[in-house]
């Protein structure tokens, strides 16, 4: 994955807000995943297909984080979502 990679949520996972956390359920894997503020925002941004650069730019506007850290952590988070087959990558 790189900044030009396009990502989108898979259709199958269900998600729900519980207090300050987002809970994602994959029926296919029988697994629950939880994430908080930044992860919730990323999940909402990938409802529609978008590039990783566009996600990064949005996060930089909304959160107090430097560009390099944002890119590194965003790529790591999306990599985890990809490993769990929660997103489509193209």
| Residue boundaries of the structural domains of the chain | 12-84
Q: Which of 29, 12, 3, 32 is nearest to 88 (CA)?
A: 12
User: Are the CB atoms for 37 and 9 separated by under 8 Å?
Assistant: no
CATH 1.10.10, applies to 12-84: yes
User: Are the CB atoms for 3 and 51 separated by under 8 Å?
Assistant: yes
User: Are the CB atoms for 50 and 68 separated by under 8 Å?
Assistant: no
Does pTM top 0.95 for this prediction?
no
89 or 30, higher pLDDT: 89
What's the pLDDT tens digit per position in 1-58? 999 999 999 988 788 878 888 888 888 888 888 888 899 999 999 999 999 999 999 9
């Amino acid at each position: 994955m790189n900044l030009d990679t396009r990502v989108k949520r898979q259709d199958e996972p269900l998600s729900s807000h519980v207090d300050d956390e987002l809970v994602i359920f994959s029926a296919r894997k029988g697994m629950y995943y939880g994430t908080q503020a930044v992860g919730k925002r990323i999940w909402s941004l990938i409802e529609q297909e978008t590039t990783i650069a566009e996600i990064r730019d949005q996060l930089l506007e909304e959160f107090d984080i430097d560009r390099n850290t944002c890119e590194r952590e965003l790529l790591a988070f999306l990599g985890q979502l990809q490993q769990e087959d929660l997103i489509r990558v193209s």
